[in-house]
Structure 1
């Protein structure tokens, strides 16, 4: 078998197209695949981009992490078990993951790459990240180098490998103990591409003018990304570049020899952006005393070691860990070591292998001449009981609830009980699948936060959001369905959009109560072109519920900020329409068809003060879409009137509604204006006269 399977999901095998020795075809036979493997889980997952659009055709890898006993203790052994590709909805499945060890599910955004390049990347990937040495060895094989250079548009192999290292990726690390309550069940997982960007810069000597070569530069990503730091040396021009840095906070530390290091902090908020930093080395040469911090990560009992935890050494700033000087991973016995860090006082945080629990020690002193021992104990977990309600407080039965070690469903009274909820501030999420027969026309979601305390049954009420949906059809000006266009509704800093099907039908589901303007086509938006992306990232439990519901939520986000989306400021489609509607109560379905506005022609003549035709600059303004898809008054066109005849014509550039004309000439200090209104029945206005005042009137 190419993929793992067990007894959790019954599978069958069909044999057909077989003939006997005489050439007679045998009957097609279907048999159940027998398996007694139940000590594990099945994984059903979904890969989405940062704007929640499904990532189709993406490779997903399952790797198991085991350990073997050797003369030096326990050694880690990593086995790549299987690789699959996501379907059109971004979904994937692994039928069986063995209990008693940890595992990793990793996805890499290979959109637009050839099969040869994808295979080379998969063959050179270790624990979700590209191994440069492996990729370099594979790239030197016949045919592979050309494929890499072509796919990444690179001129050299190092450039192509740097681009490969910068591909977006999403990784789920999890541990499945032998007696886990999840054993024998299907576990939904969600992999969300966080978005990647580039941090580049240059290192200068203390005079701020001379670039410095060979300076050690280390970059530490946002600890929330749970990715380790990376380092390189500045080139002959003092330059450096880190590609594929996850969005969020980052710190860059530069140091020459034993001098005091220089640290620069920054934040990445837009996928694909390049942030440039300048680092000026210290003017005073001060020898930095370095030391080591070592320790061990334990489970809640303080005795059982926790293998594979990630440990970060830095300082908390406004509740977030920054100024990192080290990011390491604990070994199979829970031991970790941060070597050669500057003497000082630090905060040390450990994150469990599944990313759900942490342990923190504040104010740890790293002293000269001695190794500081810092043991970290991970948070415990507790039970959470609660109730799922609809927006008016009525109990909701059969809702999926996430936030503990397993998914549970609410009973007929809306009650649920979660076990294994990590202590501290937590989000409990709930969702209902689409079930029209039960009156649930679209998936419903809700969440609530609480502070989970040990030793008690914590209580929370999760109320599903009051929401409705807008459905309709996009039609052109003649009433013919317009298929495949994007439909948008504006937000404060951008817009939400969905794609209509081939018949022009669209659905905006799970939207809050209120008034809406719905227009089509939407402003341009790449799938990852999202304003303030970090604030858009949902919680793990929200993503888990959505994966369990099994639908790719189809409302995506675009940016209206021209600095983030340059195409948005020039959005002026030839065909466009809108309608206004409102969702007034929970569960309401509103029908709102969108019809493109009929286009008309505005034409006329420009005259001087004596009634003689002249050339002038003429601008047409009228109804059209703003950068966020809302209805506005915008420039529809500009042209020069004929210098001899004074004529102008904006053919099929005025959408029906209010319009305005402005004419300007360098020979007159005033701008002539005129406005009017067109309708679908009478969309054209001709013989417009724009006449500048006589000179004496101006004077």
Structure 2
């Protein structure tokens, strides 16, 4: 199992004698499940795991898979490149399988179904290279690579645009402009920093994403041997509150009722008056716990506590009771004995 959008493995296991398997201890999130087997084509599927959820993913593997093999060398010297990472992607950019070259620069990718694939080769201090291949059942295709040394590299820090704090675990993906295939992926570390090396000269789209934040794409152009610093700020995904305020006795919608939003430190973060239809809308609220208060000089105030999640629109309605009029004040004149 891999984190979606990366080649980072999370969990793995083997099927038992009956072909069944169990992967436990997964955090909430989206994963890519890859099921390979000898003499069968691998199968890939995506699953979203919710807390305490048990998800069932069955695989129906196709026999007589295809194979891609080849050799990876240094363009300048012709020397083999050991431990180069070879990856296979579908035309939609979905990762299928990967392997490393041996000391002779040779590799073999097995278990590939028929179809069109992009094969990429990358190695430290060399520019990543990709090639497209069409496979038929039981075919063995040869794909050799000649990598260019002294590539460019990209690094930086990803921060919250609202607070300035670093964002750990943000996904950084590098795409060649005009394609949907990620040539490099990584995650930011605990300090929000990332580094991507072995990028050939060219123009790229850098896609950054993180839970609770709006995705951002940045286009850059790299030259050979360049060390590029690219710091990115991500905007949080905001929530909204909408609702209507009614008179408790008549059901009439109340205009000009003050709606106030307080955070969990009791700090006022937003306020608005209801319109002529008794409605209100408050946007651009961060996630968290809030107290919503409706008040007016003619009505008793009412408060409600809610918890907002990113991109959520919460409906909070109020029904206010009108303050009763006080009776007139009676004064007694002790001299006259009359009521005033």
Q: State the TM bucket, normalised to the shorter chain.
A: 0.3 to 0.5
More helix by share: 1
Relative contact order: is structure 1 or structure 2 higher (C-alpha 8 Å, sep ≥ 6)?
2
TM-score (norm 1): 0.25
What TM-score results when the alignment is normalised by the length of structure 2?
0.45
